[in-house]
Chain A
Amino acid sequence: MKVRFWGTRGSLPVAQKSSAVRDKIAAALVAADGRRFADTAEAARFADDTLDFATNGTYGGATSCVEIEAVGGPSDDGAFIVCDLGSGLREFGLNAMARCAAGHARLYHVFLSHLHWDHIMGFPFFVPAFDPGAKIVIHSGHPDAETALRRQQEEISFPVAFDWLRADISFRTLEPGQRYPIGAVTVELIAQHHSHVSYGYKFTDADGKCAIYSTDSEHKIDRMDGESAFVDFFTECDLVICDTMYSLADSISMKEDWGHSSNVIAIDLCHEARAKRLALFHHEPTYSDADIQRMHRESIRYEELTREAAPLDVICAYDGLTVEI
């Protein structure tokens, strides 16, 4: 199984300002300390080997969109599997069209965590939706998913109506507690605390590899007993993608009831569940690359401080990251 992150930012797409790029260049020049490079390839190697990620790259600014690639199993129809339709979907769509041109099936299974704007805003820009030979099945725990997608393409919001899309688009409502063989995976979902409810998904492939997509999930301070359901859901999973938008202090004070969680709670849940790897996800849009990198380093340290059994590998998702499970 492979997991590709096409959009990892929370709430709102963001872009680098010119001053941020200049600061990265300035930091790189200082790190180079006057050395000379034969060509850009050598300079790129220096950047990869020497500079930290916040200097030599960026976590990106597209909103939630994650691809699960799996093969095998009795229900494998060769389809793409995509979690959420945030602004990262646009780039996924272009990439998928190229793969289809190389022979990939023009089938898409989409799984929606919920219907908030940042998780559906990419769909009007999803090129495969204009492909008359494409089939798109949008799975959701929400029976009103179609209403949400149609509404954002009404004339008051967007120039291209939903009915102008040419792909065969259908909607399917899923129920928590059930196991659904869909494409090359078995899918389960869990209800999460978020405005208008959100759903976390578990994808298990034919080899038993497992990935969790759990974003926009607040773990309420007055319902800590309910976290055992998430521990059960995450149990021994190979990769858990978690909403880690806020610090713990923010999530239970000023930003309580905003529907998001923290790096600290995600690590505790994964420790208890004996999960193997955690991907920090749904990054706060006001965070710079340096802020996200600091949060990642602090998360690794918290994992070390609170570890009681096997280590949990804490990675930080960024737009363009591919994780092999």
Chain B
Amino acid sequence: MTGGNLVWTAQARDTLRVVSPAGRIDESTATAFAEHLAQEIEVAAGDGAKQLAIDLSLIDYMSSRGLRGLTLAQRKSGDHGITIVLVQPNDIMREILAISRYDMVFKVYDTIELVPSGAL
């Protein structure tokens, strides 16, 4: 599935839905990124998921608009009782999360397997 120039894959693991966007999240793709995340939250809610894990391993980089898209998704998911977590950030994303202090407002896990089951 594509959103803007991003390529998305998704999988369900019990009460955890994992989405994996790939590409650059900049001014040209941030809107599509946020819209696709909103759709994934609806899907996760329909499936009875309690957590949505966003796999950041294939993100080339994410600008402030993409980061703010994460916040909008976090707000929307809260309305559905779903917690968003970030997983597998590559080295660039790990730096961007630290510089923006987004690692203080999202739980970040090194692997999907480390995400605890159940609501966080």
Query: What string of 1s and 0s marks CB contacts (under 8 Å) between A176-199 and chain B?
Result: 000000000000000000000000
Chain B residues with CB under 8 Å of A268's CB are 27, 63-65
Q: Across the interface, do B27 and A301 meet the contact criterion of CB distance under 8 Å?
A: no
Q: Could you say which of B7-15, B41-49, B94-102 contacts chain A?
A: B94-102
Interface assignment of B109: CB less than 8 Å from any CB of chain A:
no
What is the CA–CA distance of A158 and B67 in the complex, to the nearest angstrom? Answer: 45
Q: Across the interface, do A264 and B26 meet the contact criterion of CB distance under 8 Å?
A: no
Interface assignment of B107: CB less than 8 Å from any CB of chain A:
no
Q: Across the interface, do A247 and B72 meet the contact criterion of CB distance under 8 Å?
A: no
Kindly state the interface size class of chain B when it binds its partner: 20 to 34
From B34, which residue of chain A is reached at the shortest CB distance? A224
Q: Closest CB-CB distance, B54 to chain A, in whole Å?
A: 16
From B67, which residue of chain A is reached at the shortest CB distance? A248
Q: Across the interface, do B95 and A224 meet the contact criterion of CB distance under 8 Å?
A: no
Q: Across the interface, do A247 and B101 meet the contact criterion of CB distance under 8 Å?
A: yes
What is the CA–CA distance of A324 and B92 in the complex, to the nearest angstrom? Answer: 33
Chain A residues with CB under 8 Å of B96's CB are 302, 305-306
Counting from the closest, the 5 A-B pairs by CB-CB distance are A249-B101, A247-B101, A248-B100, A298-B99, A264-B64
Chain B positions near chain A (C-beta within 8 angstroms): 26-27, 30-31, 61, 63-65, 67-68, 71-72, 92, 95-96, 98-102, 104-105
In the assembled complex, 23 residue pairs joining A and B whose CB atoms fall closer than 8 Å, in A order, are A221-B68, A221-B71, A224-B31, A224-B65, A248-B68, A248-B102, A249-B100, A249-B101, A249-B104, A249-B105, A262-B64, A262-B100, A264-B63, A264-B100, A265-B64, A268-B64, A298-B99, A301-B95, A302-B95, A302-B100, A305-B95, A306-B63, A306-B96
